[in-house]
Amino acid sequence: MSTEPSHVETIKQRSRFLRGSLLESLADSHTGAIREDDTAIIKFHGSYQQDNRDLREERRQQKLEPDYSFMIRTRTPGGVVTPEQWLALDAIAIRFANHSLRLTTRQAFQFHGVIKRELKATLQAINASLIDTVSACGDVNRNVMVSANPLLSRVHAEVHDWARRLSLHLKPNSRAYSELWLDEVPLAGAEPESEPLYGETYLPRKFKIAFAVPPDNDVDVFAHDLGFIAIIEDGKLAGFNVSVGGGMGASHGDASTYPLLGHLIGFVTPQQLFVVAEAVLTAQRDRGNRAARKHARLKYTIEKLGLDAFRSEVETRAGFTLGDLRDFRLEHNGDRFGWREGHDGRWHLTLRIEAGRIADRPGATHLTGLREIAIVHHGEFRLTPNQNLVIANVEAGAREEIDALVQSHGLDLHRRATPLRLNALACVALPTCGLAMAEAERYLPELAQRIENLLAAHGLQNAPIHLRISGCPNGCSRPYLGEIALVGKAPGRYNLMLGADRCGQRLNALYRENIDEAAILHALDALFADYAATREADEAFGDFLVRRKIVAAPRQIPLEVIA
Ligand code: SRM
Ligand code: SF4
């Protein structure tokens, strides 16, 4: 196997701290695309070049270049924005993008369909709302996730603040973003540029961090390169259990790639948080695979070094020994819908946003409705890791007005939808994702309806089964943590994965490979019949499948460390 650095490594190294030839690419009015090497660099600025795959064939026949446009992703740690910021993002979606806002599985916003000529103006508009897109994509630390369900609000706020500060701490140093998009002029005589944390080739691959606040695991903390589980003792934040080496991505037909849950390696106090995060990140920077991007995530680095050796390396870099793991219990990895009262008497309303897409459709004017809510709302908006939205910090007296707007714009799915539909996740997939092999977001409504029909036929319409669909095995909807998951293989064909738990501590396993919808529904019908007849009291569908050995018991986080 080659140990030569991959082509992307060379592009990064030559990019002069993420500038590449982006200026020239943007200035070239002969094409809607940017130069090939710049497609790797622009990711670090929070954008991907894409093309409309629905139009690919037609344009090829017409001898036109693909219908290029750009996706832009925000860096919004914990997914919090103010109503003013919401209004700005809404205006950007209408002015520059495809009239929709996409809430991602990592608490960020995505815009789709921005054309090259308007890319700079779009990024400037985002920055004018005091949100940026720096390192929302690329081989760096990405948007930091934090539990969104504010059940333990005081501790939750504290954890959120640590996450926000850590996100800032791990932000790249390069001034390329400000120069390229915000017209900042390089200062004469300024210090030569450097990236003390990352170096000029940044990380071998993307790096993801999440903070869970038990009992919620809405962030799917074990799916992350680095996870922090808040340990709350006597109502106070004592510190965090640390998990390393989780990740979802895999490639079909390549057994050397696989989803993996993180390993718990120890406990840190809040004061040790930054040091340990840097130690894990720099260990991955120096030890990760820079030759084969498929094997470059931290999970493979740990596999190569061994967990004990990796922990020792982290401790050496940190300059202290990690503490013993503390007890915790995770109960749930979905969202809690509807109104909830916070510790200070303010209210939080979690709305279901199907597949995270906010747009205006007949009878469901969600974009308009949320704009109207933003005009009257004085709290903030919080994106959940499950593509949903919390209208947070609402005074008791303001609930009625918000409820009326929710109802009149069809935003009340949380009152109408079945548990299956409330908890389902679907990645973006077609038409924008260049890697999609099958539909996901656009397929979710009809698939969910068909599965709902089957469940109802077995009297299971209220079973809160977690369904996740991804258009390819990269796993952007964290499908390997779904009780039922469809992983795209080809148009209309999926691998059917079954048997995760509902709290993000057990992966599912392959049940049927490369099957179409009829075969999926046929398989589920038989399993639902069995589940309805033989499940134990309160037994979840995934647990039932494992108990009955319908799927092999897949890897799960050792239960002995979980109280
Ligand atoms: Fe993802 C690549 C969308 C969360 C694993 N992901 C992509 C790209 C950028 C396709 C590409 O490389 O050309 C997708 C853009 C689609 C589009 O048109 O918008 C894409 N990923 C998404 C989003 C928008 C899915 C969603 O429906 O919300 C999520 C954006 C998150 C964010 O705000 O930052 C998204 N992606 C995830 C997650 C879930 C998570 O992080 O919790 C994963 C699995 C966790 C993990 O990283 O292990 C994930 N995305 C991937 C991978 C596989 C990485 C790997 O290690 O194998 C790719 C492909 C790659 O990196 O080469 C990928
Ligand atoms: Fe695209 Fe695959 Fe991610 Fe879905 S899982 S958004 S198809 S890369």
With a 6 A CB cut-off, is 104 part of the ligand 1 pocket?
yes
Task: Give distance in angstroms: CA of 475 to centre of ligand 1.
Answer: 7
pLDDT at 563: 38
552 close to 509: Cβ distance less than 8 angstroms:
yes
Nearest Cα neighbor of 314 from 246, 261, 260, 244 is 244
To the nearest 10 degrees (0 to 180), the angle between helices 366-376 and 399-408 is: 160
Distances (CA, A) of 522 to 65, 451, 512: 42, 10, 11
Q: Strand runs (DSSP E) across 147-215, as ranges?
A: 209-212
Q: Is 66 left (phi over 0), alpha (psi -120 to 50) or beta?
A: beta
Exactly one of 137, 352, 433, 506 is catalytic; which is it? 433
CA dihedral 79→83→88→91, nearest 10 degrees, is 110
Neighbours of 422 (CB within 10 A): 21
User: For tokens 């008497």, what's the residue?
Assistant: 345
User: For tokens 């600025």, what's the residue?
Assistant: 45
Task: Give distance in angstroms: CA of 137 to centre of ligand 1.
Answer: 9
Q: State the amino acid at position 468 in one-letter form.
A: R
With a 6 A CB cut-off, is 428 part of the ligand 2 pocket?
yes
pLDDT at 42: 98
Exactly one of 208, 311, 478, 502 is catalytic; which is it? 208
Distances (CA, A) of 110 to 18, 106, 190: 21, 11, 34
- The phi, psi pair for 389, rounded to 5°, reads -135, 130
The bound ligand whose nearest atom lies closest to the alpha carbon of 106 is 1
Task: Give distance in angstroms: CA of 175 to centre of ligand 2.
Answer: 30
Distances (CA, A) of 537 to 377, 500, 542, 563: 42, 18, 14, 22
473 close to 487: Cβ distance less than 8 angstroms:
yes
Question: Does residue 503 carry a catalytic annotation?
Answer: no
pLDDT at 2: 78
458 close to 484: Cβ distance less than 8 angstroms:
no
**181: three-class secondary structure by DSSP:** helix
Kind of pairing between the strands at 357-358 and 360-361: unpaired
Task: Give distance in angstroms: CA of 404 to centre of ligand 2.
Answer: 36
Pick the residue whose CA is nearest to atom 38 on ligand 1: 476
pLDDT at 193: 84
pLDDT at 204: 98
**549: three-class secondary structure by DSSP:** coil
Nearest Cα neighbor of 377 from 109, 94, 86, 91 is 86
177 close to 134: Cβ distance less than 8 angstroms:
yes
Pick the residue whose CA is nearest to atom 59 on ligand 1: 474
Question: Does residue 102 carry a catalytic annotation?
Answer: no
Token pair, residue 466, equals 């977690």
**Sign of the dihedral through C-alpha 455, 458, 459, 464:** negative
Print the SS3 string covering 236-258. EEEEEEEEECCECCCCCCCCCCC
Question: Does residue 206 carry a catalytic annotation?
Answer: yes
Question: Does residue 427 carry a catalytic annotation?
Answer: yes
DSSP 174: -
Question: Does residue 208 carry a catalytic annotation?
Answer: yes
pLDDT at 560: 41
- Helices and strands (H and E) in the chain: how many: 18, 22
CA dihedral 149→155→161→164, nearest 10 degrees, is -40
Question: Does residue 75 carry a catalytic annotation?
Answer: no
Q: State the amino acid at position 301 in one-letter form.
A: T
Q: Before 215, cis peptide (omega within 30)? A: yes
Kind of pairing between the strands at 347-351 and 338-341: antiparallel
Token pair, residue 289, equals 């695979």
3-state helix, strand, coil in the chain (%, to 5): 35, 20, 45
Token pair, residue 239, equals 């510190």
Exactly one of 205, 299, 352, 476 is catalytic; which is it? 476
Q: Which helix (H) or strand (E) holds 163?
A: helix 153-169
Atom of ligand 1 nearest to the CA of 210: 42
- The phi, psi pair for 242, rounded to 5°, reads -110, 130
The bound ligand whose nearest atom lies closest to the alpha carbon of 469 is 2
Atom of ligand 2 nearest to the CA of 429: 7
Q: State the amino acid at position 79 in one-letter form.
A: G
pLDDT at 77: 97
Q: Which residues contact 79 (CB under 8 A, 6 or more apart)?
A: 103, 107, 108, 145, 146, 148, 382, 383, 384, 385
Measured distance CA(302)–CA(152) in Å, rounded: 33
Mean pLDDT, the chain cut into blocks of 10 residues (563 residues total):
91 97 98 98 98 97 98 98 98 98 98 98 98 97 91 84 97 96 82 89 98 96 98 95 97 95 97 98 98 98 97 98 96 94 92 98 97 97 98 96 98 97 98 98 98 98 98 98 98 98 96 98 98 97 96 67 44
Neighbours of 166 (CB within 10 A): 22
512 close to 501: Cβ distance less than 8 angstroms:
no
Measured distance CA(491)–CA(8) in Å, rounded: 29
